[in-house]
Amino acid sequence: MSEITMYGAEWCGDCRRSQRLLNELGVEYSYINIEEVPGAADKVVEINGGTQSIPVVMFSDGTHLTEPSDPDLRKKLESLGLI
């Protein structure tokens, strides 16, 4: 199982940007399209405390980042020893 799960949608520019960074860094992740997976959009709202902001990047340490900048996402990956 991947240490990272990303919730997003194909139309979301921030989602594409975060995916691009993960791919460039060679980090494995599971991708959940909130428009295709039943209940995924509700899970995003739950994680975000009532808002449906994406992407949401979940980590194996139980933390998450919502709409992370590339530097913030990179810093988190470094802290987990994934890059």
pLDDT, mean over the chain: 95
What value does the mean pLDDT take over residues 61-77?
Answer: 97
Q: Is the pLDDT of residue 77 over 90?
A: yes
**5 has pLDDT over 80:** yes
List, for residues 19-59, the tens digit of each pLDDT value. 999 999 999 999 999 999 999 999 999 999 999 999 999 99
Which residue from 4, 5, 67 is spatially nearest to 33, judged by alpha carbons?
A: 5
> Which domain range does residue 33 map to?
4-79
Domain of 25: which CATH number? Answer: 3.40.30.10
Q: For residue 40, give both structure tokens.
A: 């995924």
* Distance separating alpha carbons of residues 38 and 67, to the nearest angstrom: 21
User: What is the count of structural domains for the chain?
Assistant: 1
